[in-house]
Amino acid sequence: IGAAVAAAFKEVIEASLGGLSYGKALAVAVSVMILSIAVFAALDQLNIAQNIVIGLFYAALAIIVGSSVVAIGGGGIKTMSKYWERASQKAEQESANLKEEASGSKERIVERARERKDQAAQAGGNDRPDAVGATREYPPPDRPA
């Protein structure tokens, strides 16, 4: 399930922001984060070395947060203010590209969903009428609200 969720997020991000210089990298980063959290959750659910898994998860979070605190707060305040200023300027410049890229994202996402649905149908995995990428009306037309 975690891999499917990670793949879905990756598809949506690539379809909506893939044209930007950092779009694919962002999609991969989000996918990896979701997949790694899913692995920790799966191991915990399976009761496989729970103490070790939970400890490793907290250690990973501590490394990320601790590194950020040390880098930003401990002596890096002046350096980080320069980076924030540079990032702010780049964000202002990139906002036009972001708006342009996001303007047709809905259509691209729907098109990707159709492609995946067609791929599933060709592979013989389309047993359900509401398979991957299909849109459903709610409530279905044959059932009243």
**Domain assignment present for 128:** no
Q: What is the DSSP letter of 139?
A: S
Q: Which residue has the higher pLDDT, 7 or 84?
A: 7
**Domain assignment present for 24:** yes
**Domain assignment present for 139:** no
Burial class from Cβ neighbours inside 10 Å (0-12, 13-18, 19+) for residue 13 reads: buried
**Domain assignment present for 135:** no
**Domain assignment present for 87:** yes
**Closest by Cα among 62, 42, 38 to 50:** 42
pTM of the model: 0.54
Sequence-separated (6 or more) residues with CB below 8 Å from residue 12: 109, 112
**Domain assignment present for 143:** no
Task: Give, in degrees to the nearest 5, the angle at Cα 121 between 115 and 126.
Answer: 120
What range defines the domain where residue 111 resides? 2-122
pLDDT digits (tens, 9 = 90+) for 31-65: 999 999 899 888 888 888 888 888 988 998 999 88
**Domain assignment present for 85:** yes
**Domain assignment present for 145:** no
